[in-house]
Structure 1
Amino acid sequence: MPSKAQLTHLSTLSPPSLERTWLTSPHPRLPIVATCTSDKTIRIYSLVNFSLLSTISGGHKRSVRSCAWKPLVKGESVLATGSFDATVGIWRRWDTYASADGAGGEGLASSMDSTTLDNDDNDEADEDEEWRFAVLLDGHDSEVKSVSWSPAGTLLATCSRDKSIWIWEDLDDGDNNFETVAVMQEHSGDVKCVAWHPTEECLASGSYDDTIRLWREDSDDWCQIACLRGHGATVWSVDWESGECIVPQDSSSDESTSQRKQQWTDRYSATGPRLVSCSDDRTLRIWRKEPQENSRPHQPSSMPSIIRSASIDETWAEEARLPAAHELSVYAVAWSKKSGLIASTGADGRIVVYRERFMQQPDAAANGTTTTTTTTTTTTTTTTTSPMDVDAVNGQDAVVDRPSSGVEDEKDSVSKGPQTEWTIVATIDGAHDIYEINHICWAQRADRGKPEGKDEEVLLSTGDDGCVKVWRLE
């Protein structure tokens, strides 16, 4: 039996917004987060004492829908914001939240300026003035729904209700200049989200047209390399697996354990990180790239020719569907880069956490068996390439296998390697009382009471009630 866990409410970021909050973005180095709100502001909170540090205002004329921190910046924090006013803002602030050595990531609580962190006797106006509105990126014709920085921090992707995706290059010339390098318009509907691959310049996007599309640069031009179809309604959110291989849980202790782990690592090296998506159809799906012949692991094909080669195209397949757990639209999904856990939330106000593990009975998995336990908190779904649908059984969500499409398993490279299953390890209903939850993400909590390097991972949920809640998985 898979182990159970419990989500415990640790704190609520204080004070909350008086209006709807859309999204919360953890800083890549510092124990702070940025939260987007309908009151046209961005709030910066501490993850040490969960208090408000700054309120950024004056840059946007309508709700701020999305924000993202630029990675790999030392001594300064750079924040991109997307608004319903169709613009993207770039904000900068010198890092005074941490010590001059710029330490980040782990054990940050000991290096934080306690006066600033505690927010005691600080003048909020002085704090706000330290955020500099660097530049306004104007180009979209309608609401900007999502912004995302590339792993190197040189490219910024934005998407909009105008059905387009823009890629901007930060010229890093000291004058805050950005250059438009691509505008992609293959989606036939509102583009809800964009997310960069954790280690490569590969972009994923989800849309109102029910598809997920992947993009890469080819001969100085950005083009679509794959279109993932399967969802029956709007794709609200996508997220990538960690850029480093995380081996699933293995409860067995037989001699085959090491072999399964090695096979898993080999498959990851061949295919790279997977992608998880959530949708208005109430499902969460995991997608894996099929390895290309004669291609280097984790590297896009080199294209010296000015003519686009078909070898840049990638084949992706639906590897699994997570256990059915939501009664309404699933708005957000987050894949932990530390633990490999997946969290989801949405219109039903429910938060669900999933864990992947190796199948204990490989023979049953090979036959496509799907196991549902008798408890309401733990459900398992076998990783399989067979099409599956979500039905309702006696008022409860159930996972139902459908007949195979006829493609032989040995021809499907996605099915190679050890079989795994996803289990629900924790669920909490009404996490924000009667309100919908718009976003969820994993973050590192900087706790002064813990030794360096032992910062715990927490979940942050952002809701229509204006609150950002911090949850501990126990």
Structure 2
Amino acid sequence: MPQIQLVADLPGHSAAAWCVAFNPSRPLLASCSTDKTVRLFSYTLPSDSTLSDPFPAADAATPKLQLVQSIPTEHKRTVRSVAWAPGGRTLATASFDSTVGVWEEVEAGEMGDEGVSGAAGGEMEWECVTTLEGHENECKSVGFSADGGLLASCSRDRSVWVWEVQPDADFECIAVMMDHGADVKNIAWHPKEEILASASYDAHINVMFDDPDGDWGLFQRLTPTLPAADLHIPHSSVALVAAMGDSPAEAAANAIDVPPLVEAETVWSLAWSPCGRFLASGGDRGGIRLWVRMGSNPDSELHEVIHTSAHRGACYALSWGPGGAADGAGLLASAGADGRVIVWQVKALTGDGDVPGATIEPVAAMRDAHGVADVNSIAWNVREDGKGAGLLSSAGDDGSVKVWRVVKD
């Protein structure tokens, strides 16, 4: 049975770490924090690194990581979210000071799989090229669209903003959507299309797109309704039961229960599958829901197909990457207030019903991933060239940033 193995415990922030993001084209990992800094870590892959096996042997050589720069951002409060643009030369930050910062690398040196080298002493230089204003309260999440042409942000002010990226670091706001009734916690772009999902304290998920008239707007509001199903773990998965169960009784029963949904719950996290067919959401009561897209048109609706027990506290973060079973929809990683990191295998089902089905099963878990602290963010390394596949990073309330991989037992 696969297990989650610690690769690196990186130099931590001086306050809670909120978000981690791997660069899509270069060996870099970014993190952000309440200390108002962004940290950049480089990694060097082993020369015998194998990309074809999603679960390497436990004794396989590990990547080497190091802190290469700490960027003292110009934000006045917590930096809550960080996101790379495709190409990896632009970085966006969302802050509780209600602004979004856009950073570009200047006088950059060569970047290769051996690590990072810059213009001065191996250090890269990053410049804040623009600060986007407009939100009235804390910004909670930021992200670039798949082609990098759009940037979205969300806020406690209940709004979702979409900005068009133009030459010379110019950004034009093309939409402000106020369709949520409360704090917007998270946004997630579709991996292939200009479709945007947002999660909110109002217990809804909004799905938005650019309609045929050229106007951005809401085309579907998802309301979670399915009760949580018990999570059953095979008797042979001793390590998995030990990592996910809280009591001997649970271990004996091989079941971990999330209480049935009795009232609306905050939706904390979102992640699209690499194929774009599924959307995963994480709720305040710790469950994970899967939604399936019913077609390939931009306005194809999504339907809820699974709600599984998962975490003992809120599911704060989700990240979906390729890998796992050949016939699967990729590996989904989750993290939450219970301190656990869990990796799931998702598979699509074919059948005669109107709504396609799916299965989700845990394949590995790590309890107390950040000690007694909440795990606030989780991110797979999904580089365009496939290098470094299988690396997983997390950020915690303890300020630390960790890198993991799933290995064969």
| TM-score of the superposed pair, with normalisation by structure 2 | 0.79
The answer for the alignment partner of 2:379 in structure 1 is 441
Structure 1 residue runs without a partner (length 5+): 100-107, 244-271, 292-297, 301-311, 367-409, 447-451
Say which SS state the counterpart of residue 26 (structure 2) adopts.
coil
User: How far is 1:425 from its partner?
Assistant: 1.0
The answer for the alignment partner of 1:318 in structure 2 is 304
Say which SS state the counterpart of residue 96 (structure 1) adopts.
coil
On the 8 A contact 1:242/1:338 being kept in 2, the answer is: no
Which structure has more strand as a fraction of its residues?
2
Opposite residue 20 of structure 2, the aligned amino acid is: T
Q: Structure 2 CA distance, aligned partners of 1:444 and 1:214?
A: 24
On the 8 A contact 2:138/2:157 being kept in 1, the answer is: yes
Q: Does 1:64 align with 2:61?
A: no
Q: Does 1:212 align with 2:208?
A: no
Q: Structure 2 CA distance, aligned partners of 1:95 and 1:71?
A: 19
Two-structure CA RMSD over aligned residues (Å)? 2.4
Opposite residue 51 of structure 1, the aligned amino acid is: Q
Summarize deviations over 1:268-303 as a string: whole Å, max 9, x none.
xxxx52100001021101101223xxxxxx343xxx
User: How far is 1:421 from its partner?
Assistant: 2.5
Q: Structure 1 CA distance, aligned partners of 2:386 and 2:302?
A: 37
User: How far is 1:216 from its partner?
Assistant: 0.7
Q: Structure 2 CA distance, aligned partners of 1:194 and 1:453?
A: 25
User: How far is 1:413 from its partner?
Assistant: 2.2
Shift of the 456–197 alpha-carbon distance from structure 1 to 2, 3 Å rule, reads closer
On the 8 A contact 1:442/1:457 being kept in 2, the answer is: yes
Q: Structure 1 CA distance, aligned partners of 2:180 and 2:72?
A: 32
On the 8 A contact 1:84/1:144 being kept in 2, the answer is: yes
Alignment of 1:131-146 (within 5 A): 131-146=126-141
Summarize deviations over 1:420-472 as a string: whole Å, max 9, x none.
422111111111111111011101699xxxxx966341111100111111111
Q: Structure 2 CA distance, aligned partners of 1:87 and 1:198?
A: 25
Q: Structure 2 CA distance, aligned partners of 1:146 and 1:197?
A: 15
The answer for the alignment partner of 1:472 in structure 2 is 405
Q: Structure 2 CA distance, aligned partners of 1:215 and 1:428?
A: 35
On the 8 A contact 1:23/1:66 being kept in 2, the answer is: yes
Alignment of 1:264-413 (within 5 A): 272-291=276-295, 298-300=296-298, 312=299, 314-322=300-308, 324-339=309-324, 340-357=330-347, 413=354
Q: Does 1:52 align with 2:67?
A: yes
Shift of the 444–184 alpha-carbon distance from structure 1 to 2, 3 Å rule, reads closer
On the 8 A contact 1:72/1:152 being kept in 2, the answer is: no
Structure 2 residue runs without a partner (length 5+): 45-63, 226-263, 325-329
Opposite residue 216 of structure 2, the aligned amino acid is: W
The answer for the alignment partner of 1:180 in structure 2 is 173
The answer for the alignment partner of 2:243 in structure 1 is none
Alignment of 1:38-49 (within 5 A): 38-48=34-44, 49=64
User: How far is 1:98 from its partner?
Assistant: 3.5
The answer for the alignment partner of 2:97 in structure 1 is 85
On the 8 A contact 2:144/2:151 being kept in 1, the answer is: yes
On the 8 A contact 1:216/1:224 being kept in 2, the answer is: yes
In terms of Rg, which structure is larger?
1
| TM-score of the superposed pair, with normalisation by structure 1 | 0.68
Opposite residue 217 of structure 2, the aligned amino acid is: C
Summarize deviations over 1:140-179 as a string: whole Å, max 9, x none.
000000001011111100000000000111111x2x2211
Q: Structure 2 CA distance, aligned partners of 1:28 and 1:212?
A: 26
Q: Does 1:25 align with 2:40?
A: no
Q: Does 1:457 align with 2:403?
A: no
Q: Does 1:238 align with 2:264?
A: no
Shift of the 464–453 alpha-carbon distance from structure 1 to 2, 3 Å rule, reads closer
On the 8 A contact 1:147/1:158 being kept in 2, the answer is: yes
Summarize deviations over 1:19-59 as a string: whole Å, max 9, x none.
11000011110010111111111111112232111111141
Greater than 2 Å deviation, 4+ residue runs: 94-99, 356-359, 452-456
The answer for the alignment partner of 2:121 in structure 1 is 122
On the 8 A contact 1:30/1:98 being kept in 2, the answer is: no
- Percent identity of the aligned residues? 39
Q: Structure 2 CA distance, aligned partners of 1:80 and 1:276?
A: 23
User: How far is 1:95 from its partner?
Assistant: 7.2
Q: Structure 1 CA distance, aligned partners of 2:17 and 2:70?
A: 14
Summarize deviations over 1:354-379 as a string: whole Å, max 9, x none.
113478xx9xxx8xxxxxxxxxxxxx
Opposite residue 241 of structure 1, the aligned amino acid is: S
Q: Structure 2 CA distance, aligned partners of 1:95 and 1:453?
A: 26
Say which SS state the counterpart of residue 136 (structure 2) adopts.
coil
Q: Structure 1 CA distance, aligned partners of 2:92 and 2:302?
A: 30
